[in-house]
Amino acid sequence: MARPAFKPTQSQRYRVSVLAAARMAKVDIASALGIDEKTLNKHFSGELSFGIAKRNGEIWLALFRAGKRGNVAAQKAWLARQDLEPPTPSAAIEEKLGKKEQAQRDALTADEGTTWAKLIN
């Protein structure tokens, strides 16, 4: 009699995504589920590929909610992970200059502390 086809459960899918997010090796995840690594790759490819993003997203949402409720540690953790540099507005991005235009612009400006800067000022 043939072995029945493997059918993953929602609980197994969740476990695989959590273990993938923890960066556990595929062979170890398969071992934890009691299946072969080929079976893991075949039936849990989405969880292996996107598990990190999904579980990290859950953590960020929980951290954000805790910070909104007044949890100072969560607020500090949230701010510590944010890019504190303001984004460059698209209008402020310099256009590509030709060689002559760039040379002319360079001739009108100089780095502070250089001889050229002293001559310009």
pLDDT in tens, 14-49: 999 999 999 999 999 999 999 999 999 999 999 998
Residue 20 in any domain: the answer is yes
Mean pLDDT of 65-70: 92
Whether residue 101 lies inside any domain: the answer is no
Percent of the chain scored above 70 by pLDDT? 77
Q: Taking residues 93-105, what's their average pLDDT?
A: 72
Q: Is the pLDDT of residue 12 over 90?
A: yes
Rounded Cα distance, 116 and 50, in Å: 54
The predicted structure's pLDDT at residue 89: 57
**pLDDT given at position 62:** 93
**In this model, does residue 91 exceed pLDDT 60?**
no
Domain that holds residue 57: 10-80
Asked if residue 104 belongs to a domain, the reply is no
pLDDT of 36 reads 93
Report the chain's C-alpha Rg in angstroms.
Answer: 27
- Domain contains 40: yes
Q: What share of the chain is helix, strand, coil (3-state, %, to 5)?
A: 65, 0, 35
> What is the per-residue pLDDT for 17?
93
The region, left, alpha or beta by phi > 0 then psi within -120 to 50, assigned to residue 10 is alpha
How many C-beta neighbours within 10 Å does residue 30 have?
19
Residue 76 in domain: yes
Backbone angles phi, psi at 21, to 5 degrees: -65, -30
Please tell me the total count of domains within the chain.
1
For residue 35, the model assigns a pLDDT of 94
Give the pLDDT confidence score for residue 102 in this predicted structure.
Answer: 76
User: Which residues, including other chains, have CB under 8 Å from residue 17's CB and lie 6 or more apart?
Assistant: 47, 50, 51, 54, 55
